[in-house]
Structure 1
Amino acid sequence: MPKAELARSLGAPAAFGQSQFAFMRGHAFEARVKADGGAELLRLTHAHLGGGPEPVPGEARVPDLSAAGPEGRSARTELALREATAAGAWTLLDHPMLVLDVAGTPAFLEPDAVVVAPDGTWTVVEIKSFPMVDGAADAAKVGAAARQSAVYALALQDAAARLDPAPEVRHRVLLVCPKDFSNLPAASAVDIRKQLSVTRRQLSRLTRVEEIAATLPPGTTFDVTRSPAELTAAVEAVPATYAPECLAACELAFHCRARARAADEVTALGRSLRAELGALTTVEAALAAARGEAGDPDDPAVAALRRAGELRAEALAGGAA
Structure 2
Amino acid sequence: MSRSATGRLSLAALFTAGLCAAALPGTAAADQPDPSYSYFGGLAAELTAPGQPPPGANDWSCAPTAAHPNPVVLLHGLGNDTVGWNTLSPVLVNAGYCVFTTTYGTGALGPIMGAVTPVETSARQISDFIDRVRAETGSDKVDLVGHSMGGAVPFYALNHLGAAPKIDHYVALAAPLHGSTVSGLADLQPLLESTAPGMELAAQCGPCQLSPGSRVAVDLNPDPAIAPAIRFTTVVSRYDEIATPWTTGLLDGPNVDNVVLQDLCATDYTEHFELPADPVAVRVVLNALDPEHARPVSCTVVLPFAGPPVR
| TM-score, length of structure 2 as denominator length | 0.27
Structure with a larger share of its residues in helix: 1
| TM-score, length of structure 1 as denominator length | 0.27
Q: Which has the larger radius of gyration?
A: 1
